Amino acid sequence: MTLPCDGKTRYSSGAAARRALDTMRTRRGRSETGKPLRAYACSHCHGHHLTSQDYQPGTGKKERGLWE
């Protein structure tokens, strides 16, 4: 089974992803696109990944009502 997040670095927790993000920020400050990176929870692998895309409300599990 191939997940949409295959090939991305998977972090086991949000804290681990934020630590990696802090390390990246101290080394280069911003991503190649000029936007700050952020961590996000992945609904496919139940891990965390990093992205340089802007946050869009309504796309997370809580906003879609999957936590109820």
Tell whether 30 is covered by a domain. Answer: yes
Is this structure's pTM higher than 0.85? no
pLDDT (0 to 100) of residue 68: 42
Q: Confidence class of residue 66 from pLDDT cuts 50, 70 and 90?
A: very low
Residue 3 lies in a domain: no
Q: Which residue has the higher pLDDT, 2 or 58?
A: 2
What does the pLDDT read at residue 61? 55
Compute the average pLDDT of residues 30-53: 79
Please give the residue range of the domain that contains residue 21. Answer: 14-64
**27 inside domain:** yes
- Report if residue 7 sits inside a domain: no
What is the pLDDT, as a whole number, of residue 10?
92
Instruction: Tell me the three-class secondary structure of the chain, residue by residue.
Output: CCCCCCCCCCECCHHHHHHHHHHHHHHHCCCCCCCCCEEEECCCCCCEEEECCCCCCCCCHHHHCCCC
